[in-house]
Amino acid sequence: MSALAFTIVALLLSGPVPAMLARATWPMRAPRAAIVLWQSIALAAVLSAFSAGIAIASRLFVPGADGRPTATITSEIDALGWPLWAGLVTVFAVTLVIGARLTYAVIQVAIATRRRRAHHRMMVDLLDMSHGSNPPKVCIKASGLRILDVKQPLAYCLPGVRSRVVVSEGTLKSLSDSEIAAILTHERAHLRARHDLVLEMFTAVHAAFPRFVRSGSALDAVRLLIEMLADDAAVRAAGPTPLARALVACASGRTPSGALAAGGPTTLLRLRRLGGQPNSRALAATAYLAAAAVLVVPTLALAVPWLTELHRLFAA
């Protein structure tokens, strides 16, 4: 029963639950807490999948005729029967495959993303024209800022140890000082909070789970939420109106892979949020409690009986 319960929880947390949460509107009023809830759901899904495999594997050590756990393949087949033994081994193998896929996905995403960023960082360093131009005063003290000779307004950041904030000449010419300050604060918020690491985790989890159970809702929702968090930092520094104007100006700017941009396809939704209701502490507190419950309640409800049974089995 523990194996079945863990499997059901893993399937729910990797598909239906993310799809339902992605349709909710309350996360816009508590983006930080909503991200924590998303992280708890992803972690609980992974732990439940592994726990299901471990619980199934423990079934292979059923008591033999002498009351001791079976220790060989032939004794396991004799105790369980060939069909059940084959089914348990298959499910356990699938769990190991998911674990291997998750490990591979984490490594692959990390290497590929950092390789792209390093190449792009080298390019913007070569093409930087901040020393030859006369940037606004708000840009003079900005460390790691690179200015590109591009007429289209764009702004993005390249996270990492040697981070960069990249803006175009079009951005500096079309925006006022307060709007430039808002857009720079937005990008620095991404770098300071290392939002890129949050995205990497969800990208890896999304790649690890099989297509028929995983949901792309989590990755898309977290992308939107981290932009909202950066928007909140910009609003505190420059106010909502300068940020809104800057977002509109940079909405159509193209962003390289691996970067975090101020504009993009979610701009309209974020603009509506700037003019809507403020963040809610009550919603945030509820989301934090839900995040804790997602991790703690299934663990206590499912793991404790399984561990008790496992202890009884090996104590026989």
Helices within the chain (DSSP H only): 2-14, 16-23, 31-59, 73-80, 82-127, 137-140, 169-174, 177-193, 195-208, 217-238, 240-249, 267-274, 281-298, 304-315
Asked if residue 240 has pLDDT above 90, the reply is: yes
69 SS3 class: strand
Q: What is the mean pLDDT of residues 44-54?
A: 80
Query: For residues 225 and 93, which has the higher predicted lDDT (pLDDT)?
Result: 225
| Average pLDDT of the chain, as a whole number | 83
Tell me if 30 sits within 8 A of 280, measured CB to CB. Answer: yes
User: What pLDDT is stored for residue 307 in this prediction?
Assistant: 67
**Residues 26, 41: Cα–Cα separation, whole Å:** 17
pLDDT tens across 214-232, in order? 667 788 899 999 999 999 9
User: What residues contact 300, with CB distance under 8 A and at least 6 apart?
Assistant: none
User: What pLDDT is stored for residue 26 in this prediction?
Assistant: 94
- Taking CA atoms, 238 is separated from 19, 123, 186, 268, 285, in Å, by 34, 30, 10, 19, 27
Percent of the chain whose predicted confidence (pLDDT) is above 90: 34
Asked if residue 134 has pLDDT above 90, the reply is: no
User: What pLDDT is stored for residue 80 in this prediction?
Assistant: 65
Asked if residue 286 has pLDDT above 70, the reply is: yes
Query: For residues 259 and 221, which has the higher predicted lDDT (pLDDT)?
Result: 221
User: What pLDDT is stored for residue 50 in this prediction?
Assistant: 78
